[in-house]
A and B are shown apart, each in its own frame.
Chain A
Amino acid sequence: MKKILILIIIIYPTISFSVDNNKINKITKNLRCLICQGQSIYDSQSEFANSLKKVVEDKINENMTEKQIYKFLTDKYGEWILYEPEFNKNTYFLWLFPLAIFIFGGILIFKKKT
């Protein structure tokens, strides 16, 4: 048992959090193509999508961070463009409701068990 644990401890530091090397793809996958039906900028070939891909590329070349790019785009097009909604007063409920359900369910089961 100890040996296994030691082994795992040795292995883990070599595994770090991943960095997506293709930043444009990552960002455009999180953007909605506003004129399409349920497609991301990345997936769409529409004129709008292609021009936004260009915009994202330019912004990356201007050394803007991912967050800054999202900020820039939401200022321009509204939150509708982001596939991952921000965590703000409009979306507290959205993000926290499932967790509340999970905790609630856990309490129910725990109560029943004891």
Chain B
Amino acid sequence: MILSQIGYYSLVFVLAISILILFYCFKQLKFLNKNYYLNLINLNFLQSLLVVISFSSLIFSFLNSQFINRTVYENSHTTKPFFYKFSGTWGNHEGSLLLWILVLIIFSLLFLFTSQKKEKKYLTLTLLFQQIIILGFLIFTLVTSNPFDIIFPIPNEGLGLNPILQDPALAVHPPILYIGYVGCSIIFSSSLAALMSQSVNGNWASHIKKWAIVSWIFLTVGIMLGSIWAYYELGWGGFWFWDPVENVSLMPWLTLTALIHSLAVIEKKSQLKGWVIILSISTFVLSVAGTFLVRSGILNSIHTFANDPQRGIFILIFLFLLIFLSLVIFFKFYKQDLNLNKLTFTNDLSILINNWFMMYFLSVVLIGTIYPIFLEVINNTKISVGPPFFNKLISIFLIPFLLFMGFGASLGWLKSNFKKIYLQNVVLFFVSIITSSYLFLFIGDKGLFLSLIMGGSIYLFLATIRDLIKKNKQNLSQRISHFGFSLLVLSILFNSIFSEEHNFNLNVGDKFKLEKETIFFQNISMTNDKNFKKVEGIFLIQSNNYKDIILKPQLRIYNQPVIITSEADILSTLYSDNFIVMNKIDDSNMFNIRYQKKPLMIWIWISTIIIVLGGTLTFFKDRK
């Protein structure tokens, strides 16, 4: 009771402070020329403190299983392990919104702390936009999704958390993704503020680039964690399903990646200003739109664990207000660059080409995700847009993209030694085409298109290695990230082309023979865990090529809510993953077994980590 009240009232105070800060911001803007300057850091600090108190009281309600709180009652259970009681705080709609607000406010404070030396008008405006966003989400939370609702009489037991969410990767996935999204809010506010105070310049670009990279790092890691989770928890053996909710997190990632590249052009050449502002706005709008699509439940997805159409309408209105506000500001304050230089074959052209492809990929993901919704509303026709659509439209364009990426990064900022670069790249290109052709000849008939795309990615791989081992230390972080990306594309390709998949039914004690391996279903055992029963199968996999492997996939029967999940067992090595998952077949003693060999699987994660490492390096470089 007391915890819920503390939580609720501190949140109300947070709202009050938000309004107060907005008021001071307006006042400050009005008297800007008269040396009137209030330091609003204290208020922001107080706001952060209160939101931390509010969030902590929700955490404690979850830890102590205080079922008087509706959110706790609906999403927790006394037998749940401690760690998942904790992570359950944000494993639901209300709690995750509160977390969003917490991150939003703390980020605003951090921004204020680190940018105190900036121009006052710019700072005040950024703060103003930031508080508008905070206010929007606060009202949304308090009106439609109060995490501190109370129920009487107090229930004895909670309803429990969806078991597929009870997982370590998924416990940290939302907070990390949120930090990424919320970081985009700073970019949004700051770019509008810079536009209004006429300070979109190289200085601003280097200043905001840090925030862009921080958000980008968290977004990348967040997406990766979700993908790892899907790989071992959903039991399908894939890592990316083009599920609407995955798409929604990919969209701001694409614009953010484009933004980071374009910011470099402003930094070096003071061009592309309008475009950078548009990218900053759309990155955050896409983040909020993502929240809308996930929370409103209009998407048919594995992720819609909490939804309510009314909430959707609220976020939709908020979204339109944001878009409207930013468009008005953009058209009112944006002035076309006067000294437009012609583009030459230098780095900025390659960055434009990067942006061009990023926008294409974005348009594919965007239209594929929202088109079915619109079609249903307009025409009452229900269609599905699934992996074949995305794969088709993206893979073809991947070939020129890979080539441009390999070629473009070797161009200089001012002028390029064109002949030398050209020759180098042509040689690399032919080496890659031949390698990929022979690879396919050696392995078997796999098609012209695949060998082209493989050729492209081998070319990029070689080109990024060439750039990586260059002597000068300029742009080291970019070179590492590009190398990581080429490794990622290569491992995804290898993985998808050379994966083996076997689907069969077995009785306990039976063997199943594959071409090179035998799978022996040795035994089955049943044990009780804290909040689920565990049925564990023991499989022996024998082959002439390697040592015997024992894999133990599980079926879990959770008590509250009663849900059966199947847990894959995976043996990861540097070369390949052995993945096995079993399912009970109804009205039969047999089990359905899915056994997969996935080459280079672990490299998909390793290369993503390399990409992120490249990004992190920018911060250490600056300190020197």
Contact = CB atoms under 8 A, between A and B. Distances in A.
B221 to A, nearest CB: 23
A84 B388 contact: yes
Contacts of A63: none
Interface string B579-598: 00001011000001000000
Nearest to A105: B356
Contact of A97 (B367, B433, B441): B367
A82 B437 contact: no
Nearest to A85: B383
B153 interface: no
Contact of B447 (A17, A101, A105): A17
Given A8-B437, A15-B440, A38-B301, A101 B359 contact: yes
Nearest to A113: B343
Nearest to A96: B367
B356 A12 contact: no
B241 A82 contact: no
A61 interface: no
Nearest to A84: B388
Contacts of B447: 15-18
B302 A37 contact: yes
Interface stretch (B84-92, B177-185, B374-382): B374-382
A18 B496 CA distance: 14
A13 to B, nearest CB: 10
B433 A79 contact: no
A114 B433 CA distance: 32
B437 A15 contact: yes
Interface in B429-454: 430, 433-434, 437-438, 440-441, 445-451
Interface string B244-280: 1000000000000000000000000000000000000
Contact of B382 (A78, A91, A94, A109): A78
Given A14-B441, A15-B446, A94 B586 contact: no
A15 B300 contact: no
Interface string B509-532: 000000000000000000000000
Nearest to B360: A102
B273 to A, nearest CB: 14
B363 interface: yes
Contacts of A84: 386, 388-389, 392
A4 B601 CA distance: 33
A37 B434 CA distance: 43
B338 to A, nearest CB: 15
Contact of A79 (B236, B383, B448, B449): B383
A85 B385 contact: yes
B624 to A, nearest CB: 36
B441 A98 contact: no
B342 interface: yes
B304 interface: yes
Contacts of B300: 37-38
A101 B383 CA distance: 22
Interface string B299-316: 011101000000000000
Contacts of A78: 382
Contact of B375 (A82, A90, A97): A90
Contact of B381 (A39, A90, A109): A90
Interface string A1-28: 0001001100110111110000001000
A8 B448 CA distance: 12
B371 interface: yes
Given A37-B300, A37-B302, A85 B451 contact: no
Contact of B353 (A37, A85, A109): A109
B412 interface: no
Interface string A28-52: 0110100001111001010100000
A24 B420 CA distance: 51
Contacts of B155: none
Nearest to B450: A18
A72 interface: no
A81 interface: yes
Contacts of B406: none
A101 B364 CA distance: 9
A84 B446 CA distance: 22
B362 to A, nearest CB: 8
17 contacts: A11-B437, A14-B441, A15-B441, A16-B445, A38-B302, A43-B236, A45-B585, A79-B381, A79-B383, A82-B383, A85-B383, A85-B384, A85-B389, A101-B359, A102-B360, A105-B356, A112-B343
Given A90-B383, A94-B375, A98-B363, 16 more contacts: A8-B433, A16-B447, A17-B448, A30-B388, A32-B384, A32-B386, A79-B381, A80-B383, A85-B384, A93-B371, A94-B367, A94-B371, A98-B393, A101-B359, A102-B356, A113-B343
Interface of A: 4, 7-8, 11-12, 14-18, 25, 29-30, 32, 37-40, 43, 45, 47, 78-85, 90-91, 93-95, 97-98, 101-102, 105-106, 109, 112-114
The 3 closest A-B pairs by CB, nearest first: A83-B386, A84-B388, A18-B447
